């Protein structure tokens, strides 16, 4: 398409030059006074490619030296393409003078036009011929340079070893293009979640190894005592009772460890899943108090529940039940025989408030500050335990959006635990 269009425009341009030259010759011949044939000298190196003839009253009066006296064309007016005896092709323009007694032929060799066209095409094609490879090289360099951060990111991901501490460390964003920041941020979030899960599993393994060693060793020792008791039935019975107590302690410890591990592996996950399901706190408290009532009766403790009406709180029922069970169980286990434990549910300033109070010895400020640390137990406690109950309570409170507060009970004198949930949901 470029060739055809350029050739058309070039033909029109050069044809107009021929017509203009012929007009000048017509004017010149009109003013000539002699009748001799005038040969125009060659004034340019390309002059052999251009030819002309001027006839006056049928007689040749002027011509270029590269043509013979024979007319260049058979027509009297207009453009034509003719082939001469030497095999060359010429473009000829013929016209008559003002008095119709002058005939002018102006011709141009066709290969000169092809040479001009080739020159035009060279100017069009040669620069891209050199520029395109250079442009391709620059594009390759630019793409390689821009993709270098991606290659580095790929190598960083490949070189990471899951056994190393830095395997789940966040990836740096400072040298990466803005377009892939969301991808790297998503990867960093995934690494953070995986690190939390792995840390929770490692803590669970460490906790289990740390805490289960003692009850298992005690169970083994009591089993050995029962095995060596021989005919002493009383000793065997005491050893078996101690073995059962050790099994109960180990079972309770395993339950606590599993609950805490689930909460740490997916903090808030269960709460988010059941966020739209209101839980009747009074019903859960009644059910939990009924389950722990035998333990309170065995120690002659007074367990009371005060709830004027149903109180709805956000959160999954299973977590609310675990929280209440741990609070009541701690109050029953660490309060003396004959103590009083009360659980009260109220509404204050748009919050649902659960209070668990006992008449035990209570805790000092430093002890309350450390309460909830893993495996921390208040000194002087005779009751068996692992210190994980408060960790579970804190994690559930965090997952359900509750606020946990510790203090001394003004009415009973022992420990008072207050749990506040956000504005209660309407039934």
Tell me: do 204 and 241 sit in the same domain.
yes
Question: Which of 264, 408, 402, 427 is CA-nearest to residue 323?
Answer: 402
Tell me: do 311 and 239 sit in the same domain.
no
pTM exceeding the 0.85 threshold for the entire prediction: no
In contact, 345 and 421? CB cutoff 8 Å: no
Output the pLDDT for position 41.
55
Mean pLDDT, the chain, rounded, equals: 76
Domain end call among 242, 265, 288: 265
- State mean pLDDT over 243-264: 71
Question: Which of 239, 280, 394 is CA-nearest to residue 330?
Answer: 394
Output the pLDDT for position 133.
92
In tens, the pLDDT along 367-396 reads 766 665 554 455 445 454 445 667 778 877
Question: Which of 324, 278, 311, 342 is CA-nearest to residue 419?
Answer: 324
Q: What residue ranges in 47-187 does DSSP mark as E strands?
A: 50-56, 59-63, 78-83, 89-96, 102-109
User: Poorest-confidence range of 38-42, 186-190, 287-291?
Assistant: 38-42
Output the pLDDT for position 372.
54
Domain end call among 91, 116, 141: 116
In tens, the pLDDT along 333-342 reads 888 888 899 9
| 367: containing domain | 275-421
Question: Which of 396, 386, 385 is CA-nearest to residue 354?
Answer: 396
Domain end call among 265, 290, 306: 265
Checking if the pLDDT of 35 tops 70, the result is no
* Non-local CB neighbours of 400 within 8 Å, separated by 6+ positions: 271, 313, 314, 315, 316, 319, 320, 323, 421
Q: To which residue do tokens 């065997």 refer?
A: 236
* CATH number for 77: 3.30.450
| 260 domain residue, yes or no | yes
| 380 domain residue, yes or no | yes
In tens, the pLDDT along 64-97 reads 778 888 888 888 889 899 988 888 888 899 988 7
Output the pLDDT for position 27.
59
Output the pLDDT for position 273.
43
* Residue 150 structure tokens: 């991606």
What span, in angstroms and rounded, lies between the C-alpha atoms of 92 and 107?
A: 4
Output the pLDDT for position 136.
94
* Residue 308 structure tokens: 């004027």
Query: Any idea how long the chain is?
Result: 427
3-class secondary-structure state, position 342: strand
Tell me: do 37 and 112 sit in the same domain.
yes
* In the chain, % of residues over pLDDT 90: 4
Checking if the pLDDT of 198 tops 90, the result is no
Question: Which of 118, 107, 94, 98 is CA-nearest to residue 47?
Answer: 107
- State mean pLDDT over 33-61: 69
What is the total count of domains within the chain? 3
């Amino acid at each position: 398409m470029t060739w055809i269009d350029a050739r058309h425009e070039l033909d029109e341009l050069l044809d107009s030059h021929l017509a203009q030259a012929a007009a000048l010759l017509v004017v010149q011949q009109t003013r000539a006074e002699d009748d001799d044939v005038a040969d125009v000298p060659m004034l340019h190196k390309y002059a052999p490619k251009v030819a002309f003839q001027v006839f006056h009253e049928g007689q040749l009066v002027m011509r270029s030296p590269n043509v013979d006296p024979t007319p260049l064309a058979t027509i009297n007016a207009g453009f034509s393409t003719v082939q001469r005896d030497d095999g060359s092709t010429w473009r000829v323009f013929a016209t008559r003078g003002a008095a119709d007694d002058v005939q002018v032929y102006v011709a141009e060799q066709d290969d000169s036009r092809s040479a001009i066209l080739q020159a035009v095409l060279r100017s069009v094609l040669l620069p891209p011929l050199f520029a395109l490879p250079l442009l391709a090289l620059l594009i390759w360099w630019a793409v390689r340079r821009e993709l270098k951060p991606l290659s580095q990111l790929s190598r960083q991901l490949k070189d990471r070893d899951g056994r190393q501490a830095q395997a789940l460390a966040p990836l740096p964003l400072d040298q990466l293009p803005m377009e892939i920041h969301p991808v790297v941020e998503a990867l960093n979030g995934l690494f953070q979640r995986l690190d939390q899960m792995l840390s929770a599993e490692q803590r669970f393994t460490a906790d289990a190894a740390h805490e289960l060693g003692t009850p298992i060793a005690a169970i083994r020792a009591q089993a050995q005592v029962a095995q060596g008791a021989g005919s002493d039935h009383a000793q065997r019975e005491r050893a078996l009772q101690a073995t059962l107590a050790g099994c109960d302690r180990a079972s309770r410890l395993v339950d606590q460890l599993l609950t805490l591990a689930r909460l740490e592996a997916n903090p808030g996950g269960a709460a988010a899943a059941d966020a739209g399901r209101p839980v009747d706190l009074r019903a859960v408290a009644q059910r939990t108090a009924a389950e722990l009532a035998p333990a309170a009766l065995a120690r002659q403790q007074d367990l009371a529940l005060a709830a004027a009406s149903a109180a709805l709180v956000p959160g999954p029922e299973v977590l609310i039940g675990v929280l209440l069970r741990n609070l009541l169980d701690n109050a029953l286990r660490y309060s003396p025989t004959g103590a009083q434990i009360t659980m009260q549910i109220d509404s204050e300033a748009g919050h649902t408030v659960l209070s668990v109070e006992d008449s035990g010895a209570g805790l000092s400020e430093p002890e309350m500050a450390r309460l909830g640390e893993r495996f921390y137990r208040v000194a002087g406690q005779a009751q068996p335990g692992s210190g994980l109950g408060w960790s579970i309570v804190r994690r559930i409170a965090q997952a359900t959006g509750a606020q946990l507060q510790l203090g001394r009970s003004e009415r009973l004198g022992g420990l008072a635990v207050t749990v506040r949930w956000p504005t209660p949901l309407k039934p």
